[in-house]
Amino acid sequence: MLPKGGLKHATEGISYLFAQGRGKAASSVLRYYGFFHELFDTLSERSGIFSIGYSADPSRADITEAQAELPRQTAKGLPRPGKWLDVGCGMGGPACLLASENPDVEITGINITPHHVEEANRRAKEQGLADRVSFRLGDALAMPLPDSSLDGLYAIETAFHYNGKARFIQEAMRILKPGGAFAVADIAWGGSGEGLTERIRMAPIRWTMASPELFTENQWCENLAAAGFTQIACEDISRETFGLLGRWKERAVAHLPELRQKYPEALLRMMIAGFEYYAGRPEKIPVRYILVRARKDPGAARRLPGALSIDTRAAPDIHKKTVLANTNIRRPLYGIFNRRHNP
């Protein structure tokens, strides 16, 4: 005997999975947030932050605090005072948090999901921030903003949805002022990303997470360098982010009664089992979580895209790992630079 509403939930779940195999990237993102909105909103306890979180001590972290910490870590190097752009701003939680903690910044958020934009504007108004924080519809691949108009740009756990990250990076280069800062916190593919076996391994993530294109760390660095960015630094923060999966499992279990009203039991069980499995075996997680930072050279207009850029002073807070990026650096060399280093 199925639980009450079980057949309806199961049918919705199955039709979601079938639909995700078709159509354009943007429509699969809309379907993804249409289907999972309540799940994410419930699990994040309506904080308006839809990302995994960050903690130096993830096994003991409080999820709400960790979710607030990821935007702080991401925006650490952005110029203050300044005008910032939050790309894929979600429900506005990160921008409102950062604006309330940094009274000298103005933040514009863009997003392709209309109800996220509405909810984000409602949040900014409710928190008395609407004079410095606003949100509008806009695609990361064609940003509705003038050239050289922003001091900083950040994108938290959204770029894994973009089908054309090279285009996103070029857009970032266009809208940043010379000297402007770029920061992305995102899921990156952990393997080489090349060949049939890799594609097969990637397929479940690409299909279920509306993630048509997953970059490796190297691809982030190469594309930033090719677009003309300098001071490129990439930090692997998988421990501080995926290390929270055990805490997410506890939170999901605590919210099971509400979630059962809206989602198929099998999906909830699978999610909890997944949190538990990967919390105990982080080495099996096929993706990495990375924080990528770069600068638009103050003399950007005069630089040739892809020119050599090596500067270890780029991001002083990134002490764990610094990637020196140049389009000509070959992969084995990257391997040496990319090795995680704990001082």
Ligand X SMILES: C[S@@+](CC[C@H](N)C(=O)[O-])C[C@H]1O[C@@H](n2cnc3c(N)ncnc32)[C@H](O)[C@@H]1O
Positions that interact with ligand X (CB under 6 A): 29, 33, 49-51, 88-90, 93-94, 110-113, 116, 139-141, 156-158, 161-162
Which residue is at the shortest CB distance from ligand X? 90
At closest approach, how far in Å is the CB of 88 from ligand X?
Answer: 3
Q: Which one, 29 or 183, has the nearer CB to ligand X?
A: 29
| β-sheet with 105-111: strand ranges across | 133-137, 105-111, 82-87, 150-156, 176-189, 287-296, 229-236
Q: Which one, 157 or 236, has the nearer CB to ligand X?
A: 157
Which residue in 119, 157, 235, 240 is the catalytic one?
A: 157
At closest approach, how far in Å is the CB of 182 from ligand X?
Answer: 15
Q: Which one, 90 or 264, has the nearer CB to ligand X?
A: 90
Alpha-carbon distance 285 to 64, whole Å?
23
Single-letter amino acid code for the residue at 141: L
235 assigned to active site: no
Which value, in Å, is the radius of gyration of the alpha carbons in the chain? 20
At closest approach, how far in Å is the CB of 131 from ligand X?
Answer: 22
At closest approach, how far in Å is the CB of 209 from ligand X?
Answer: 9
At closest approach, how far in Å is the CB of 35 from ligand X?
Answer: 13
At closest approach, how far in Å is the CB of 272 from ligand X?
Answer: 19
Q: Which one, 142 or 333, has the nearer CB to ligand X?
A: 142
At closest approach, how far in Å is the CB of 199 from ligand X?
Answer: 22
SS3 of the chain: CCCCCHHHHHHHHHHHHHHHCCCCHHHHHHHHHHHHHHHHHHHCCCCCCCCCCCCCCHHHCCHHHHHHHHHHHHHCCCCCCEEEEEECCCCCHHHHHHHHHCCCEEEEEEECCHHHHHHHHHHHHHCCCCCCEEEEECECCECCCCCCCEEEEEEECCHHHCCCHHHHHHHHHHHEEEEEEEEEEEEEECCCCCCHHHHHHHHHHHHHCCCCCCCEHHHHHHHHHHHCEEEEEEEECHHHHHCCHHHHHHHHHHCHHHHHCCCCHHHHHHHHHHHHHHHHCHHHCCEEEEEEEEEECCCHHHCCCCCCCCCCCCCCCCCCCCCCCCCCCCHHHHHHHHCCCCC
Q: Which one, 181 or 329, has the nearer CB to ligand X?
A: 181
Q: Which one, 93 or 180, has the nearer CB to ligand X?
A: 93
Q: Which one, 74 or 218, has the nearer CB to ligand X?
A: 74
Active site residues: 157
